[in-house]
Amino acid sequence: MTHHLILGGARSGKSRFAEQLATRSGLPVTYIATCQPGEDAELAERIATHQARRPRSWAVIEEPIRLATTLQASARDAHCILVDCLTLWLTNLLLKEDPHLLETEQRALVDTLPTLPGQVLLISNEVGQGISPNNILSRRFIDQTGELHQTLAQICHTVTLVTAGLPQKLK
C-alpha cells in the first residue's frame, strides 16, 4: 500500500503528474472525480480536457461528497485510485446546508486513508501561499484546506509539490 499527496497551484501540472504516476504503476486505475460543473461552461471544458487525457481503460467514479465511502468501496490490493481533487471536494462540502457534513466527511477520509490497500493518489490545490481573502467563506476554505493538507501529509507515504509542471518531492 502506498498513499501519495500531490499538491500544486491551479494549472500547475499536478493532475497530469498524477495521471502519469497512475499509468506508470501498471495497475488497474479507478479515477474518482469530485467536481460538479453545474452550468459552468468553462469548468465543463476543463473536465473534457481531463477526460480526453485519461486512458479509456480507467474506471471513473463521480463522487462529490462521500469520498471516504467511495474509497473504501474501490480500494484493493494491486489497484491504483486517483482522486482529483480534494479542494473541489472541500468546496462541495462547504457549500452544503449541513454544518456538520464537512467535519464528518473530513474525519472519515483521515480515518479511512491509512486502512486502504493498494495505491492512492490524492490531488489537491495548494492555496496557502497567496493573500488572505476578505470574506469568511474563502478564509474558511483556506483554513480547512490547510488543515487537511497538514493532516494528510502526515498520513501519506509520499508528498509532492508540482510547480510549472515540475514535481518536487517534499516527503
Where do the domains of the chain lie, and which CATH numbers do they carry?
Answer: 2-169 (3.40.50.300)
Range 94-114 average pLDDT: 94
31 — pLDDT class (breaks 50, 70, 90): very high
Pairing of strands 158-163, 166-169: antiparallel
pLDDT at 42: 81
How far is residue 166's CA from residue 17's CA, in Å, rounded to a whole number?
Answer: 9
For 132, the 3-state DSSP assignment is: coil
Grid cell at residue 120: 492512492
Q: Provide the 10 A C-beta neighbour count for residue 98.
A: 11
Amino acid at 128: G
Alpha-carbon separation of residue 156 from 1, 37, 104 (angstroms): 10, 29, 20
- Is 50 tagged catalytic? yes
- Kindly report, residue by residue over 45-76, the tens digit of the pLDDT: 877 787 788 888 999 999 999 999 999 999 99
- Kindly report, residue by residue over 121-161, the tens digit of the pLDDT: 999 999 978 778 889 989 999 999 999 999 999 999 999 99
Q: Which of 50, 79, 149, 157 is catalytic?
A: 50
pLDDT at 100: 93
Question: Contact 48/19 with Cβ under 8 angstroms?
Answer: no
85: preceding bond cis by omega (within 30 degrees): yes
pTM over 0.75: yes
Range 82-88 average pLDDT: 96
